[in-house]
Chain A
């Protein structure tokens, strides 16, 4: 199992990214203001819409990190699941 502990940082980074994506959008005091406006959108509104993109990115990165760990673990256990096969539809 010593090989596995070498990849653990991936889990850590994924965890931190996910935690940030849950906590930061809920810190209302950081964005409850009108200025600066962007294309007429008050800061309050465009900032939250912008977070949709940030969150999509952090979740994608977390997915890649977690998958790399899981693939190694599964390979070490001799399992070859459908984990990395993505068939369409």
Chain B
């Protein structure tokens, strides 16, 4: 396995180089002003229409890690841990249809760049805004790290690596240096442009895999039967079936809570909000809710590649000699496709890692700049200073992710990513409920968030992997005092809501001041072109978000 496949490598390098050139050229794409404000650098000028947004959100939400991890989960343990991604990405769009336009409108009328900006303005509480910002940054960092893990799986399959640490990590270092450079110079425009290439390649690869591989492997019937046989076989380490081919009754609650919890969490991630706020009017995101399911279909078909890998009997031993299900898909391509097409598929995954990694680092940097730097460190920061701080922070965030992947065990990133999903869901009450009503008290929201964060973290820590006996063994646990197994994030979310409601009642009864609301009820329905919806030059003059008004 240690021989480098030159055909694959050359194709990957060529596509990678082309994408790099695009990334730098993107700085000049649809420019309206200088790249020295967060609206320009961090939100691409806030001018993306339905078409660009479809690619941008698709590239952002359906990451390289998703494309490697979902089929890997299908390969390893079947439907509950893998195929739940399909109902997850089905129900997410009706959910965001309901509230995302309101977030767009209020953000544009008040110049908000991050979800934490909105929370701070709505509740008149920098503390709550800080909580949302810190949660966002914490949840995003390991997610960026996992994009690198996806890339690593590809490089390893191509035969790059070996015992020499430098040779093993060099491709990743180069890829990341390039990514950091063009994100720094072009901002959100770079991933928006590269997303076209990424999605084009991914659609091509999946179409080929779905049309070509079943014939090679003896048809869909036999692929599903092979998966069924594997999932029903007893795992010697645990004494239980390997996984679930079709969830049994005991697995229903796990399946739907994973789907619902993940769907509620997805648009709380700062990188999703960044992409939504970069659109040019309040309806772009709604139209996208109707057309983004195309990616869900893609993801569903991709998940089934995990079953194909079972049927094809791929070898998932890593260079370290240990079985690593993350290698299932790269190895399947390597084994079943001619080298040149496997090269295209690998390039698709590698480029697929760059788009979300860039958007995530921009989103995390925006959070740092607006809700930590400007709110706490330098209150009179100018837009140019904000953009500069954000650019540097985006470098720092990526560097941190790189250190994570190279310096620490991969499982730590995986654990933190699992925790990140649980954490980010806890910002839902402050953000989404806040879009409709201000009934929740700011301190109640803060308390609910804190309790749920602690509960979620402890519950996740207490899940022991039955095979390896390690902590953070998964994201499922019983609801306290019951035998019903559900997604920990959703349990924590329930506790969050209960604490928030009870404390709101108490705080309101005690007449504790609930803070000033900087937003107005008409803000939530405003659209581009309405009075008060600022265009860029006005925002720049004022230096971003307006101060609190009655």
Binding site for B on A (CB under 8 A): 18-19, 21-22, 25-29, 32-34, 37, 39-42, 44-45, 48-49, 51-53, 55-56, 58-60, 62-63, 66-67, 70, 74, 79-83, 86-89
Determine if A88 and B94 form an interchain contact, defined as CB atoms under 8 angstroms apart. no
Determine if B252 and A29 form an interchain contact, defined as CB atoms under 8 angstroms apart. yes
Determine if A63 and B252 form an interchain contact, defined as CB atoms under 8 angstroms apart. no
B204 on interface, CB distance cutoff 8 Å = no
Using A18-B98, A25-B91, A59-B93 as known contacts, say yes or no to A48 and B221 having CB atoms under 8 A apart.
no
Other A-B pairs, 17, CB within 8 Å; known A18-B97, A22-B95, A48-B300: A21-B90, A21-B94, A25-B87, A25-B259, A26-B260, A28-B255, A32-B247, A37-B221, A39-B220, A53-B293, A56-B293, A59-B293, A66-B286, A82-B528, A82-B529, A86-B49, A88-B51
Determine if B530 and A79 form an interchain contact, defined as CB atoms under 8 angstroms apart. yes
CB-defined contacts of B293 to chain A, threshold 8 Å: 52-53, 55-56, 59
CB-contact partner of A45 in B95, B280, B304, under 8 A: B304
CB-defined contacts of B301 to chain A, threshold 8 Å: 49
B381 on interface, CB distance cutoff 8 Å = no
Determine if A44 and B79 form an interchain contact, defined as CB atoms under 8 angstroms apart. yes
Determine if B287 and A63 form an interchain contact, defined as CB atoms under 8 angstroms apart. yes
Cα A67 to Cα B98 in complex, Å, equals 13
CB-defined contacts of A32 to chain B, threshold 8 Å: 246-249, 252
Tell me, rounded to whole Å, the shortest Cβ–Cβ distance linking B219 to chain A.
6
Q: What is the interface residue range for chain B against chain A? A: 35 or more
Determine if A63 and B290 form an interchain contact, defined as CB atoms under 8 angstroms apart. yes
Cα A81 to Cα B245 in complex, Å, equals 50
Which of chain A's residues has its CB closest to B263's CB? A22
CB-defined contacts of B252 to chain A, threshold 8 Å: 28-29, 32
CB-contact partner of B280 in A40, A70, A82, under 8 A: A82
B52 on interface, CB distance cutoff 8 Å = yes
CB-defined contacts of A28 to chain B, threshold 8 Å: 247, 251-252, 255-256
Ranked 10 nearest A-B pairs via Cβ: A40-B220, A81-B527, A40-B221, A82-B528, A28-B252, A26-B256, A18-B94, A82-B281, A60-B290, A21-B94
Cα A22 to Cα B89 in complex, Å, equals 10
Tell me, rounded to whole Å, the shortest Cβ–Cβ distance linking B136 to chain A.
24
CB-defined contacts of B304 to chain A, threshold 8 Å: 45
CB-defined contacts of B310 to chain A, threshold 8 Å: none
CB-contact partner of A59 in B52, B260, B290, B525, under 8 A: B290
B464 on interface, CB distance cutoff 8 Å = no
Using A26-B91, A52-B90, A63-B286 as known contacts, say yes or no to A33 and B529 having CB atoms under 8 A apart.
no
0 or 1 for each of B373-397: is its CB under 8 Å from A? (1 = yes): 0000000000000000000000000
Which of chain A's residues has its CB closest to B307's CB? A45
Determine if B91 and A22 form an interchain contact, defined as CB atoms under 8 angstroms apart. yes
Using A32-B252, A52-B296 as known contacts, say yes or no to A59 and B289 having CB atoms under 8 A apart.
yes
Cα A3 to Cα B148 in complex, Å, equals 56
Q: List 14 A-B contacts (CB under 8 A).
A: A18-B94, A21-B93, A21-B94, A32-B246, A32-B249, A32-B252, A37-B224, A40-B214, A42-B246, A44-B246, A51-B87, A55-B90, A56-B290, A89-B52
CB-contact partner of A83 in B52, B95, B289, B527, under 8 A: B527
B315 on interface, CB distance cutoff 8 Å = no
CB-defined contacts of B287 to chain A, threshold 8 Å: 63, 86
Determine if B527 and A45 form an interchain contact, defined as CB atoms under 8 angstroms apart. no
B398 on interface, CB distance cutoff 8 Å = no
Determine if B49 and A87 form an interchain contact, defined as CB atoms under 8 angstroms apart. yes
CB-defined contacts of A19 to chain B, threshold 8 Å: 94
